[in-house]
Amino acid sequence: MMWMNKLLPKLLIFAIAIVGVCGADDSSSNSAAAGVSKKKAVSNHLPLLPHETLVNTVSALRVGRRLGVHKLFSKSSKKVDGKSGKANSSTKSDKANKSAKAYSKAQKENDSTLFTSCSDVQAELDAYKAAANAPHWLFVQMADMCTLYRDDDGVYHLESSNFHKDTEWFTDRPMQLEKTEPTSDWFNNFNELFDDEKGMPNAALTIVDDDMSKDVVVSVFAEGYVKEGEGEDEGVTIYGYKLEQSTDQESVLALESLIEDGEDSVTFDHCSMFIDL
C-alpha cells in the first residue's frame, strides 16, 4: 500500500501536466492568430494529446492501481495460505498416520481374535468329533445275596461279597463292541473311570427275592468302593455302592420302600446292576 500512496500524487501531477499542455496548445493557437508562426508554437510545446487519450490513460492508471493492490493482497494471501496449508497438510498427515496405525493395530487385534476364535471353534469341533466317534459303554453286573442298608446318616448302600467275577461291557448303537473286565478291576478303577466332571453314572437296579422279581429302581451312583468284611465275614472282600436318588427317581420307586418299617437293611437273593457310562 505504501508504493500506491507514493504513486498517486505523481499520477495527479502527470494529469495536471497534460492539462497544462492542452492549455499551452490553445495559447499557441491564439499566438498564431496574433502573428506568431505555427512552426514556432509547435516547437515550444509538447504535441497536443487528444482528450480520449487522456481519459484512457487515467483509466488505465486506475485499473493498474487496483490490479497492483489485488496482486499484493494475493501474494500476502498466498503466503498466509501457504503456511496454513503446510500446517493443515502436516496436521492431516499426522491424523492419517495415526489413523493408519490405529487401523493396523485394530486389524492385528481382529486377526488375533479371529485366529483365536477359529482355533477355539476347531478345537471344539475336534472334541465333538472325538466324542461322537468314541464308544458309549454300558455295563452289566450280577450278584447273589446282596444287601441294601441305610447307615446312620441316612445314606443307602448296596453291598455283596458274591458279585460275579466278571463285569460285562457293551456299546450303544451304532457300534457293536463288547468286552469283559474282572469285577475287582472295575471297582478298583471306578473313580478313575468316572472322573470326568459329569457326575456319577445313572444305574438301574433289579432285584429278585424268593424267586420273584421286584421292581426296577433307578438310582444315581455316588461312589463305588471295596472293603474288607468284619466279624463272620472277616477276610472276605466286599464290593459296594453308595446310592443316591433324585426327587424324580424317588417318585417312581424310592429305595426306602424296599426296606420294611423299623428295619435298617434287607437282603435279596439276587440283584443286577445296569450302569450307563
Assess whether 142 and 266 both reside in one domain: yes
Cell of 21: 499542455
Cβ proximity of 14 and 54 under 8 Å = no
* pTM listed for this prediction: 0.54
Residue 232 confidence class, pLDDT cut points 50, 70, 90 = confident
Share of the chain above pLDDT 90, in %: 29
Residue 182 confidence class, pLDDT cut points 50, 70, 90 = very high
- CA 37, CA 28: separation in Å to the nearest integer? 9
Question: What contacts 226, CB < 8 A, 6 or more positions away?
Answer: 184, 187, 188, 237, 238, 239, 240
Q: Please identify which residue in the block is written with the cell numbers 472277616.
A: 234
State residue 201's pLDDT score.
86
Assess whether 85 and 143 both reside in one domain: no
Instruction: For residues 214-225, give the mean pLDDT.
Output: 84
- Asked which of 92, 121, 146 is the last residue of a domain, the reply is 92
C-alpha dihedral over 13, 19, 21, 23, to 10 degrees?
-140
- Asked which of 92, 116, 145 is the last residue of a domain, the reply is 92
Instruction: For residues 155-164, give the mean pLDDT.
Output: 95
| 76 belongs to a structural domain | yes
Assess whether 260 and 154 both reside in one domain: yes
State residue 107's pLDDT score.
67
Domain count for the chain, please give it. 2
Instruction: For residues 33-59, give the mean pLDDT.
Output: 49
Assess whether 78 and 149 both reside in one domain: no
| 129 belongs to a structural domain | no
| 125 belongs to a structural domain | no
Share of the chain above pLDDT 70, in %: 58
Decide if pLDDT at 235 tops 70. Answer: yes
Residues in the chain: 277
- Asked which of 57, 76, 92 is the last residue of a domain, the reply is 92
| 115 belongs to a structural domain | no
Cβ proximity of 244 and 181 under 8 Å = no
Residue 160 confidence class, pLDDT cut points 50, 70, 90 = very high
**Range of the structural domain that residue 250 is part of:** 137-276
Bond before 201 cis per omega within 30 degrees: no
Question: What contacts 259, CB < 8 A, 6 or more positions away?
Answer: 148, 149, 150, 265, 266
Decide if pLDDT at 79 tops 60. Answer: no
**Measuring CA to CA, which residue among 167, 160, 154, 273 is closest to residue 226?**
160
State residue 194's pLDDT score.
85
| 159 belongs to a structural domain | yes
Instruction: Choose from 4-8, 21-25, 78-82, 141-145 the range with maximum mean pLDDT.
Output: 141-145
Instruction: For residues 243-255, give the mean pLDDT.
Output: 88
Query: Nearest 5 degrees, angle CA 154-CA 159-CA 164?
Result: 160
| 121 belongs to a structural domain | no
Range from 36-40, 95-99, 114-118, 250-254 carrying the lowest mean pLDDT: 36-40
Query: pLDDT tens digits, residue range 104-121?
Result: 766 666 666 655 678 888
Assess whether 183 and 260 both reside in one domain: yes
Secondary structure class of 173 (helix, strand, coil): coil
Assess whether 63 and 146 both reside in one domain: no
| 71 belongs to a structural domain | yes
Provide the mean pLDDT of the chain.
74
Cα 3–chain centre separation: 69
| 112 belongs to a structural domain | no
